[in-house]
Amino acid sequence: RDRRRAITRSAVGLGVTTVVFAIVFELFRRYAVAHVYGSGELSNSDVRGAVDELWGAFFDDLMTWVLVFAAGAWLLAAASSSVLAPYSAATLIRRSRAFLVSPKSSRVRGVQGAIALAIGIFVIVKPTLSLRVVAVACGCLLVYFAFGELLSVTAPAVPRARMRRAPSRRLAIGFGGAGAAAVAGIVAGFVLTGTAPTQAASAATCNGYAQLCSRRLDEVTFAGTHNAMSAADSPGWYIANQDRDIAQQLNDGIRLFKISTHYATQDSSGFVHTNVAAENVQVNRVAKRLVPYARLALQRVSKALGRGSVGKRDIWLCHTLCELGATRMVDFLGTIRRFLELNPNQVIILFDEDAVQERDIRSAFVRAGVFKYLARLRPEQPLPTLGELIRTHQNIVVFS
């Protein structure tokens, strides 16, 4: 009968459940990691680090959604509660202005000034992070206000005769402070776990380590991805080899990318067609196993899948057939160029399984603005060191 109170209790129940689950899940993670042991050449810390990363790869998304549900549940509980009745936006602004301009004691003004100074310094030092904090906080306020407006229509407030006595000012401030601290903790967790462009450690390092600067290219191991462009996060990929797109792979520490270049065209509906005929002698692995008339049939099937006029031929990164997923090479190289502009002391390797002509590959590098970064390797000479590649700003190495 009292829908508002029922919603409040349900939201509190969901909020408590999610918080308890998050705590228990994190304790279980720590217990599981602490009870694996290395053997042979692997130390305990090596094995535990690997298990911890593997756990994160499988379950970090689950924890993110648990925190999202927790935040939503507590905001709904606050909006539906008779203690924290939702205010209109105008009332909220008016009360905030009144609080800021009302007369205060010297002590309160001093505390207020110190807080304002700390916030100001934080905004100056971390402007991007500050914008994200403000954006998340504003989003929480909007969700709270939206819940209040919806509840005022769907779940009327408790009749005045049945309303409980309003709590004391001290109790209300205590509950409000606790709620604000909880929301701030959730916001900080989201902000700090978010991904930002990786910045180079310092000018004296190469790929993050000073000792790598004096080592030749063939003396360094690079973390790499196979069919790097084939990522579930990238639009249009149906059978992906990787979870994350190129920008995220770079932020995660990947520095070697195996790619496959193909001729393809994109129609006006966005569908990409492999141009089997254009690949000619350097035909891809699938077409190479087909007789000529079967290749023509494959091309006709591809054209039949489209829904618009076909555009100009270009180089695309595809996993054998561009109909299964494709990324324009210029876009892929543009992501690498932006990363190197932020991180000039990094060396990146591309392994290209190509089915296109070299002059067209060169054109793609030029159009993407990365041709100037390509290393010139000298036949029968020792490979350059990472430090030499970085000093000469030729820190993209391409192998075929």
What pLDDT shows up at residue 235? 83
* Residue scoring higher pLDDT (97 or 170): 97
Query: Does 175 have pLDDT greater than 60?
Result: yes
* Residue scoring higher pLDDT (276 or 313): 313
Looking at residues 132-138, what average pLDDT do you find?
83
**pTM check: above 0.75:** no
Task: Pull the structure tokens for residue 125.
Answer: 């030092």
Which of 278, 324, 276 lies closest to 300, judged by CA?
Answer: 276
Rounded distance between C-alpha atoms, residue 177 and residue 170, angstroms: 10
Rounded distance between C-alpha atoms, residue 214 and residue 200, angstroms: 18
Which residues have C-beta within 8 Å of that of residue 245, sequence separation ≥ 6?
Answer: 231, 233, 234
Which of 373, 285, 372, 360 lies closest to 330, judged by CA?
Answer: 360
Range 260-292 burial, b when 16+ CB lie within 10 A, else e: bbbbbbbbeeebbbbbbebbeeebbeebeeeee
Report strand pairing: 272-274 vs 256-266: antiparallel
Which residues have C-beta within 8 Å of that of residue 181, sequence separation ≥ 6?
Answer: none
- Please tell me which of 152-161, 237-246, 284-293 the model is most confident about, judged by mean pLDDT: 237-246
pLDDT in tens, 295-351: 566 666 666 566 556 678 899 999 878 888 899 999 999 999 999 999 999 999 999
What SS3 class is residue 396?
strand
Rounded distance between C-alpha atoms, residue 7 and residue 68, angstroms: 18
What pLDDT shows up at residue 281? 47
Instruction: Give me the residue label for tokens 């494709």.
Output: 326
Element of type H or E holding 387? helix 386-391
Query: Does 360 have pLDDT greater than 90?
Result: yes
Task: Classify the phi-psi angles of 27: left when phi > 0, otherwise alpha if psi is within -120 to 50, otherwise beta.
Answer: alpha
Show the 3-state SS of 295-314.
HHHHHHHHHHHCCCCECCCE
Sign of the torsion angle spanned by Cα atoms 220, 226, 228, 232: negative
Give, rounded to a whole angstrom, the gap between the first and last alpha carbons of the chain: 72
